[in-house]
Structure 1
Amino acid sequence: MASTFDVNFLGEAFRVAMLGVPVTLGITLITLLLSVPISFYFATLRLKKIPVVSQVIAVYVSFVRGTPILIQIFIIYNSVPILLKMLFETYQIKFDIYAIHPIWYAFIIFTFSTTALLVEVFRSALSTVDKGQLEAANAVGLTNFQAYRRIIIPQMLGAAMPNMTTNIINLIKATSLGYALSLPEITLNVKVAANAGYNYIEAYVVIFFVYLAICSLVEYALKKYERHLLRFKLV
């Protein structure tokens, strides 16, 4: 193992870390695009307290909250190919399951986890909006879709943004577990570069600062957006 801190390696580590940034941000963006509408819909179902459906969603949320995401990665990454193979064999579909790129599993896994976490965020945020506003919107001729888009959702987002920001930051950090899927994201790229000279301390220092910079920038942008949303808040 390297006995001294190799300052020269920091430049190479930073370079390969930057190569993994698009993968990290891409996974984060696709996950949010998929999970936000699904979790919002699930939140409305929970508020309506539809029998069975509401209970199923509650169990799903509890499962995700009560299990480490790394365990979820191993379970889904190992079980989905087996289930798909059984399904394809049943219907005689010729497709190489193991040729699927790991990033697709990353989308599934992180969407599965993030959706459950955002369900409770949206449910509590929707509870802060007076139900009478929807009735008033319907009374003046707006459809439910128009009322949600123009009145309910802007107010709901204002209440949800602090918790959403926390979950988005946690999602960005969780993508570092993409190394378990052999994805060329920030962590895996730097760790591979460190293997040759056993420069693991330097590698983790670079990983630390790269994630700190990304999360800080994202948090700043989301805080700005949160202040923008406050104009929709009714006094």
Structure 2
Amino acid sequence: MGFNFSYFVTSFKQALLYVPVTIKIMLVTFVVSFIIGTIIGAVRFYKIPFFSKFFSIFVTIYLGLPVTVALVLYNLIFLTCYNDFANFFHINKQISDINPIFVAYIALIAGYSCNLSETVRGNLRSIDKTQFEAGYSIGLTKLQTFRNIIFPQMIPNMIPGLLNNLIGILKGTNLVSTIGITEVMVAALYPCQETYSYLEGYLAAAALYWIIGIVIENIGHFVIKFSSKNNKEVWNYD
């Protein structure tokens, strides 16, 4: 099996058209997962009655569920229940007109929210207890202390972990092809159906994922440097 550079270029150009789709899925999943993960992590850290135990069980169980299985499972449930749902709410749209991207978001966000909640909870534990006590001593509630004192201190420490999660989400976006969504990986393989040479398609997809990953890494390193510089300026009283 030889490598044909022209086939590679064709696959690369085709995949390049779907980079916005992959980026959108990655960013929406990351932002929503971070918000939900922060809530779950904070609830478990503060041991809020009932919810803490519920999320503890949920995260433990859900972390063992592969994303591919979740995508297929949710899609099957959606396909099975849509007609009943549409009839109940008098929705006229056919199931073929519904974009499966919403099923993908649910599966991805549920999984990565659990991952990010562990990142948040781990960083909460790294904050010195005196920081919490300082907030309580001046009359702040737990929520106010978390928002005004604890969370701003967590962000610089969380950046490396968040960066790893973001790259993990990028690599996980290709799984949405299992429910019929076209993204970089699938697009790169389209020309291969005519040439019957899939090596170039996979290499083109790998090259694009690598480029996007490098861009994310560089942005992350810039943010880390910027936050470190700001922290030094804030704590420098001389």
TM-score range, shorter chain: 0.7 to 0.9
The TM-score, its normalising length taken from structure 2, stands at: 0.87
* 1:131-160 deviation line (CA, Å, top 9, x unaligned): 432442354466655543443112112222
Task: Give 5+ residue unaligned stretches, structure 1.
Answer: none
1:127 aligns with 2:136: no
Instruction: Confirm or deny: 8 A CA contact 1:72 1:109 kept in the other structure.
Output: yes
- Give the conservation status (yes or no) of the 8 Å contact 2:11–2:190: no
Residue identity opposite 1:132 in structure 2: T
Separation of aligned partners in 2, 1:103 and 1:64: 21
CA distance in structure 2 between the aligned counterparts of 1:51 and 1:148, rounded to whole angstroms = 18
Q: Once the two structures are superposed, what CA deviation does each residue of 1:21-61 show, in whole Å capped at 9, x if it has no partner?
A: 10000001111221111110111110122343222212222
Task: Give 3-state SS (helix, strand or coil) of 2:77's partner.
Answer: helix
Per mean C-alpha deviation after superposition, the further-off stretch among 93-102 and 210-219 is 93-102
Q: Does 1:173 align with 2:171?
A: yes
SS at match of 1:49: coil
Partner Cα distance (2:159, 2:82) in 1: 37
The equivalent of 2:152 in structure 1 is: 154
- Change over 3 Å in CA distance of 1:70–1:138 after alignment to 2: same
Q: What's the CA shift string for 1:95-119, capped at 9, x where partnerless?
A: 4344210222221111111101101
SS at match of 2:76: helix
Change (3 A) 1:138 1:95: farther
Residue aligning to 1:72: 70
Aligned twin of 2:100: 102
CA distance in 1, matches of 2:42, 2:214: 31
Contact 1:81 1:98 in 2 (8 A): no
Paired residues of 1:64 and 1:117 also in contact (CA < 8 A):
no
- CA distance in structure 2 between the partners assigned to 1:220 and 1:201 by the alignment: 28
CA distance in 2, matches of 1:56, 1:86: 29
2:162 pairs with 164, 180, 193, which one? 164
Counterpart residue number, 2:216: 218
Which amino acid in structure 2 is aligned with residue 23 of structure 1? V
User: What is the CA–CA distance in structure 1 between the aligned matches of 2:211 and 2:62, rounded to whole Å?
Assistant: 28
CA-CA distance at 1:90 after TM superposition: 4.4
Q: 1:208 aligns with which of 206, 209, 212?
A: 206
Contact 2:15 2:188 in 1 (8 A): yes
Q: Does the Cα contact within 8 Å between 2:123 and 2:157 map onto a contact in 1?
A: yes
User: Equivalent residue of 1:196, what SS?
Assistant: helix
Query: How many correspondences in the alignment?
Result: 233
Task: Tell me whether 24-33 or 96-105 shows the greater mean CA deviation.
Answer: 96-105
Q: Which residue identity lines up with residue 10 of structure 2 in the other structure?
A: E
Change (3 A) 1:58 1:144: closer
Deviation at 1:84?
4.3
Structure 1 length-normalised TM: 0.88
Counterpart residue number, 2:227: 229
* Counterpart contact for 1:102–1:183, Cα < 8 Å: yes
Deviation for aligned residue 1:163: 1.9
**Which stretch shows the higher mean deviation, 62-71 or 187-196?**
62-71
